[in-house]
Amino acid sequence: MQYAHPSCQHDDPRTGDSHGKSTPKVGTQCTEHIRVAPAQQWISTTAGRIATDPYSWMQAVHWISGSGLYTPSRTHGPKWGETTIRLAQELSALKECRPGIAYLTRKLKASARTVKYHLDMLREAGLLVYRIKGSRITSSIRQASEYERVIPAEFDTALGVRTIGEGVQRRPVGIAEEHRSAIGKLAKKAARKVRRKRSRKPSSSRDRCTPMQGGTSMSSPTALTHSPSESKLASGSRKSPTPKKPKRAKRTLNRVGRRYQLARELIQQIGWLSGASVPRIAWIVKDVADAGWTAHEVIAFLDTTAEPEHGTRRPSGLLGYRLKGVTNLPGWQTREQRGAAVETMRESRRAEHARHDRGPAGGWDTSNWQESGSKAVQRTFTEAMANVRRGLQQRQQHEAQDEELFTIDTEAPQTMRIEDFSRELVLQMRAAAENDPGLIFESIRTIGERDTRRLYTNRLVSQTLADHALNGALA
pLDDT band at 409 (very low <50, low <70, confident <90, very high): very low
Render the burial of 395-433: b for 16+ CB within 10 Å, e for the rest: eeeeeeeeeeeeeeeeeeebebeeeebeeeebeebeebb
- Separation of alpha carbons 108 and 435, rounded Å: 72
Q: Which tops the pLDDT comparison, 460 or 377? A: 460
**Count of C-beta atoms within a 10 Å radius of residue 29:** 10
DSSP, collapsed to helix, strand or coil, labels residue 128 as strand
- Separation of alpha carbons 168 and 184, rounded Å: 24
| Alpha-carbon torsion, ordered 87, 89, 94, 96, to 10 deg | 70
Residue 256 has pLDDT above 70, yes or no: yes
Q: Taking all residues of the chain, what is their mean pLDDT, rounded to a whole number?
A: 75
> Of all helices (H) and strands (E), which one includes residue 377?
helix 375-400
- Residue 20 is predicted with a pLDDT of 39
Specify whether the CB–CB gap between 316 and 281 falls below 8 A. yes
pLDDT band at 11 (very low <50, low <70, confident <90, very high): very low
Question: What average pLDDT does this structure show over 416-437?
Answer: 78
pLDDT per position as a tens digit, 210-241: 445 444 444 455 445 556 565 555 555 556 66
- Separation of alpha carbons 448 and 459, rounded Å: 16
**Count of C-beta atoms within a 10 Å radius of residue 157:** 18
According to the per-residue pLDDT averaged within each range, which of 73-77, 86-90, 224-228, 239-243 is highest? 86-90
Question: What average pLDDT does this structure show over 438-466?
Answer: 82
Percent of the chain with pLDDT over 90: 24
Question: What average pLDDT does this structure show over 71-98?
Answer: 90
pLDDT band at 363 (very low <50, low <70, confident <90, very high): very low
Q: How many residues does the chain have?
A: 475
Question: What average pLDDT does this structure show over 127-151?
Answer: 82
Dihedral sign from CA coordinates of 267, 270, 274, 277: negative
- Separation of alpha carbons 41 and 227, rounded Å: 73
Beta bridge partners of 174: 162
| Alpha-carbon torsion, ordered 102, 104, 105, 111, to 10 deg | -100
- Amino acid residing at 10: H
Residue 402 has pLDDT above 50, yes or no: no
Residue 111 has pLDDT above 70, yes or no: yes
- Separation of alpha carbons 451 and 144, rounded Å: 67
pLDDT band at 458 (very low <50, low <70, confident <90, very high): confident
Q: Which tops the pLDDT comparison, 371 or 66? A: 66
Please list the alpha-helical segments (H only) found in 150-285.
153-159, 180-191, 255-269, 278-284
Question: What average pLDDT does this structure show over 5-29?
Answer: 39
Question: What average pLDDT does this structure show over 197-207?
Answer: 57
Q: Which tops the pLDDT comparison, 19 or 416? A: 416
Residue 199 has pLDDT above 70, yes or no: no
Give the largest Cα separation in the chain, rounded: 129
Q: How far is CA 440 from the centre of its chain?
A: 49
> Of all helices (H) and strands (E), which one includes residue 131?
strand 128-132
Residue 277 has pLDDT above 70, yes or no: yes
pLDDT per position as a tens digit, 314-348: 888 888 888 888 888 888 888 888 888 888 888 77
Rounded to the nearest 10 degrees, what angle do helices 82-92 and 101-108 cross at?
120
Burial of 126 (0-12, 13-18, 19+ CB in 10 A): buried
Instruction: Return the minimum-mean-pLDDT range out of 204-208, 327-331, 335-339, 420-424.
Output: 204-208
Specify whether the CB–CB gap between 444 and 359 falls below 8 A. no
> Of all helices (H) and strands (E), which one includes residue 171?
strand 171-175
- Residue 324 is predicted with a pLDDT of 87
Q: Taking Cα atoms as reference points, which of 116, 146, 115, 120 lies closest to residue 133?
A: 146
Please list the alpha-helical segments (H only) found in 125-254.
153-159, 180-191
Question: Domains in the chain, start-ordered, CATH in brackets?
Answer: 6-136+143-191 (1.10.10.10), 255-357 (no CATH), 375-474 (no CATH)
Radius of gyration for the alpha carbons in the chain, expressed in angstroms and rounded: 44
Residue 125 has pLDDT above 50, yes or no: yes
pLDDT band at 42 (very low <50, low <70, confident <90, very high): very high
How far from each other are the two terminal CA atoms of the chain, in whole angstroms? 123
Question: What average pLDDT does this structure show over 294-313?
Answer: 79
Q: Which tops the pLDDT comparison, 127 or 1? A: 127
Q: Which tops the pLDDT comparison, 243 or 299? A: 299
Q: Which tops the pLDDT comparison, 397 or 292? A: 292
Residue 312 has pLDDT above 90, yes or no: no
- Residue 19 is predicted with a pLDDT of 40
Instruction: Return the minimum-mean-pLDDT range out of 74-83, 177-186, 210-219, 274-283.
Output: 210-219
